Amino acid sequence: NNGPDRDRQLSPAFNRISGACGFTVVPEVSGSGQHLQKMGDPVNSATNTNGFHKTNGTNGNHHQEELKIAIIGQSNFAAEVLELLLEREHIVVGVFTIADKGNREDVLATTARQHGIPVFKFTAWRRKGVPIPEVLEQYRSVGANLNVLPFCSQFIPMEVIDGAAFGSICYHPSILPLHRGASAIAWTLIEGDERAGFTIFWADDGLDTGPILLQKQCPVYGDDTLDTLYKRFLYPEGVTAMAESVDMIAAGTAPKIPQTEIGASYDPALFREENQYLDLNQPALRIFNFIRGLDSVPGALATVEMDDGLQVPVRLYGASLSARRNLSNGKPIRFKGAAGPAFVAREGIFLTGTDGSLVRVKRLKRGNRVIPAGQWFEQVETKQAPLELSDKEQEQDALLRGIWKSILKVEIETETDFFACGAGSMDVVRLVEEVKDTLEVPISNETLFMAPSYGEFLQEVILRLRTGGSDRGSDRDGSDYKHVLLKANRRQIRVPTQMFVNGRFVDAEGGKVLPIVNPTNEQVICEVACASKGDVNNAVNAADEAFRGVWTSVSARERGQLMYKLADLMEQHKEELATIESIDSGAVYTLALKTHVGMSIDAWRYYAGWADKIEGTTIPVNPARPNHVLTFTKKEPIGVCALITPWNYPLMMLSWKMAACIAAGNTVVIKPAQVCPLTALKFAELTVRAGFPPGVINIVTGSGSLAGQALADHPAVRKLGFTGSTPIGKRIMASCADSNIKKCSMELGGKSPLVIFADCDLEKAVRLGMSSVFFNKGENCIAAGRLFVEDRIHDEFVRKVVKGIKTMKIGDPLDRATAHGPQNHRAHFEKLQEYCALGLKEGATLVCGGRRVPSLAGFFFEPTVFTDVEDHMYIAQEESFGPIMVISKFHASDFDALVARANSTEYGLASGVFTKDIQKALLFAEKVEAGTVFVNTYNKTDVAAPFGGFKQSGFGKDLGKEALNEYLRTKCVTVEY
């Protein structure tokens, strides 16, 4: 063996197969250190006329003596062959394998000892080309009469091969005589063969030229790599075939078919570095085949020429033939010897073949680190400074160091390389599982592959523990972004001001920004990025790539765990989020804490529980006899979803929609309201800390007319969820239809009726009637847009409402005593003034309010009450979306006429009724045209209860189980059997 090779350990499959055909490089052999040798022809055998290898028996069906097998090899492949032979009751008299690496023995030796089989470990079988006498003596001591070599990386002397009375059989990973040599499986792919396979052959003194005992074949698929071929077929079928071969030898029926030289090939050994270099001046298909033939071990070699003249060797992995022709977003990269151009794009590195077609490379290795190829320019100069560990982290370091030591059996230093110490695939599995169990940190095999030294691995684990994340990308700790420092509420809160795309905070194209104004004092808080159409396209592309890539590897249960983690982080930072919401949108802090933030957290936890409970159904259908038919449905995510949310509940509307969207398995691009995006950007930081992979959640800030419209028009967006005004909803629906008929759900305007009968609990009706209008400054989609108060209690109801308004404290939303804060932004504030003026003009009576609060800066509007409102008036038909109570009288004698008045608008979002008469309450609930009906209460929503409107208030649901359907598609599968 040519010594420990970390690259080989990246692919357990290749580690098991390299050398499996019974030869290897032997550096210590004088004069032959770079050549290959085969075992010799077995003695005491003859070939009968039908080509079967016949033993000493007279009829070829049994032996005069039973087989006594020596297994010569190593690795999991050999260990599984051993166990299968024992299951079939063959006698294994000895196992011969490689010497221990440090304190670690090969798995074949461990398996043999567990079964009480003698184990012999040799560093070498020959010295200077001559068999070592004591090694031969130990081999002969077991009395073997058949040698089985399922994996052998040492020179085996001819005296051993010839010493087995019934011969020596070897495994070779090709359909001999094609691809003779050490790298057969790789050359199967490199040459573009349509079929692969393996051969069990009788050893001779040629290069894989011995007679054939057994062969099996499989197709080569377009996405096969060295690993997939081996894992799918060559490994499992190879183990079985070795046992079948021994069975045939035991029965005296083993064929011995001479190999033909027709089609024979002798391919260069790819363990030699000079043979691993990729020729970039050939057609794309040849480039692709060469890379996948060396994937993932040892990797195709190429050299990057840097701008400063430095030449950097890299290894390429994860190739695919690309259908792309336009690389306008790619950044040039130069490869030594390449005539065609190459580019680095977000999806990877693209190489151009001589035929003009492109090959995409997903990963590359520089030095001993594997990185995403698309991050070449970001990571090529990156060098992380060592972490300063806290006391707790030093304890975690000790635990981690102990796990490494228990596996590797060596003292662990910072530079200790896991694979260079001889670790194999099972060691990787053990390490990952022990670290996950001991430190409760989500890591994968890939984590170790990309951080193979102890120091790198420790740093990766500690950073994930700090952020609570999985698959932490470079610079994804949330600290490197432009921000504003809000000093309020006895806090200093760092809030991002850039967009969040593909796991990073980024500027808008051209550095364009827009001002964010504090509605309490009308001062500019900061400037945030203002997305262009190109920025939106980048965000959608990132979401699309994540949906088709990394997000598919996250199971439904893991998805729920990420959502729970995010909810926990929101809980930990709820005071910060509520403070931002108050400063940015004018929400009263106590309400923001309880509702804006509190219900957001509830939504993430509720849908986290749904993530692994999304199920299809089986359907009884009428099959065509005599066949049977199974028909079932699958609930699948739609893909990239766009969300456009309003300014009244910035974080809560985000959470209502996005939590269901993510639970269903989609990726998302959200455009928060232009005037108050800051809680959404702080939320983005928390998603990084929760461990959401890059691209799953993206946030573009900017105007609705540009960024929002770009989302509605984008062909890669398959679902759009919108909350906002009815006129804008109509425009978005048209865009969704024109672009790609994308699915959409709309929560639009409202003019919700609230009916108060004289037989109600009047005090409760007044209190909740006021809340139905003035809750959240009236900026509430289900606010009671028109109160119908029975004439018998009308005047008393109005008197009590006015009295209650006088007790409301209006002012700074961060003041804990404040009940009524400023309106969200200037344009809306001015609209409310116009609304009141129109009400007066049409003849309604202004009882109180209707103007700006005179003593306060900021967008403070007095709580307002109108009476004597007739059904034809503008303020009876259209919502104010502000603190304006519109009251109409009714007489209780005509219930149907009352319901007709309640239904006389084009809106149908919510409704309410106060009465002690259950019959009236239920009849109203039955006849009113609204998606939500409150009886003797109002504004009482819950994350488990579906929410959405009728008529021009929109369609589709937020919240509850029903909301999941907005982000799922149903696939029907029918199987005939």
Does the annotation place 881 within a ligand binding site? yes
Helices (H), 755-907: 762-774, 794-806, 826-841, 874-877, 895-902
Report how far residue 481's alpha carbon sits from residue 479's, in angstroms, rounded to the nearest whole number: 6
Flag whether 704 is marked binding: yes
> Which of 680-703 are b and which e, b meaning 16 or more Cβ less than 10 Å from the residue's Cβ?
bbbbbbbbbbbbbbbbbbbbbbbe
Q: Which of 53, 90, 172, 596 is catalytic?
A: 172
Question: Is 155 a known ligand-binding residue?
Answer: yes
Question: Is 87 a known active-site residue?
Answer: no
Is 159 annotated in the active site? Answer: no
| Residue 706 labelled as part of a binding site | yes
**CA of residue 373 relative to chain centroid, distance:** 18
Q: Is 880 annotated as a binding residue?
A: yes
Is 80 annotated in some ligand binding site?
no
> What are the C-alpha distances in Å from 900 to residues 23, 181, 894, 895?
91, 88, 10, 9
Residue 561 annotated as part of some ligand binding site: no
Which of these, 509, 300, 475, lies nearest to 375 by C-alpha position? 475
* Angle, CA 11 vertex, CA 10 and CA 15 arms, to 5°: 110
DSSP secondary structure letters along 542-599: HHHHHHHTGGGGS-HHHHHHHHHHHHHHHHHTHHHHHHHHHHHH---HHHIIIIIIHH
Nearest-angstrom CA–CA distance, 860 and 853: 6
Name, in order, each residue with C-beta under 8 angstroms of 746's C-beta and a sequence gap of 6 or more: 722, 723, 729, 732, 733, 954, 955, 956
Shortest CA distance to 452 belongs to which of 486, 426, 428?
428
Helix 574-585 with 598-610: angle, nearest 10 deg:
120
Phi-psi region of 531 (alpha: psi -120 to 50; beta: other; left: phi over 0): beta
Question: Looking at 713-757, which runs of residues are DSSP E strands?
Answer: 717-723, 743-747, 752-756
- Whether 184 contacts 174, CB under 8 Å: yes
The phi and psi torsions of 674 (rounded to 5 degrees) equal: -60, -35
Q: Is 671 annotated as a binding residue?
A: yes
Residue 156 is assigned to a ligand binding site: yes
Is 900 among the annotated ligand-binding positions? no
364 bridge partner residues: 316, 371
DSSP, collapsed to helix, strand or coil, labels residue 463 as helix
The dihedral through the CA atoms of 149, 154, 158, 163 has a sign that is negative
Dist CA 915 CA 936 (whole Å): 7
705 is in an annotated binding site: yes
Any known ligand binding at 708? yes
Q: Is 448 annotated as a binding residue?
A: no
828 an active-site residue? no
Which of 781, 820, 828, 966 does the annotation list as catalytic? 781
Dihedral sign for Cα atoms in the order 80, 82, 83, 85:
positive
Provide CB contacts within 8 A for 246, sequence distance 6+: 67, 69, 85, 88, 90, 146, 148, 169
Contact 847, 865 (CB under 8 A): yes
Active-site residue, from 105, 347, 747, 862: 747
Kind of pairing between the strands at 629-637 and 618-619: antiparallel
Q: Which residues contact 85 (CB under 8 A, 6 or more apart)?
A: 69, 71, 92, 148, 242, 243, 246
Q: Is position 841 annotated in a ligand binding site?
A: no
Check the annotation: does 778 bind a ligand. no
Handedness of CA 716, 719, 723, 727 (dihedral sign): positive
Is 725 a known ligand-binding residue?
A: yes
CA distance from start to end of the chain: 51
Binding residues for (6R)-10-formyltetrahydrofolate: 154-156, 208
Binding residues: 154-156, 208, 671-674, 704-709, 724-725, 831, 879-881
State the catalytic residues: 172, 747, 781
Binding residues for NADP(+): 671-674, 704-709, 724-725, 831, 879-881
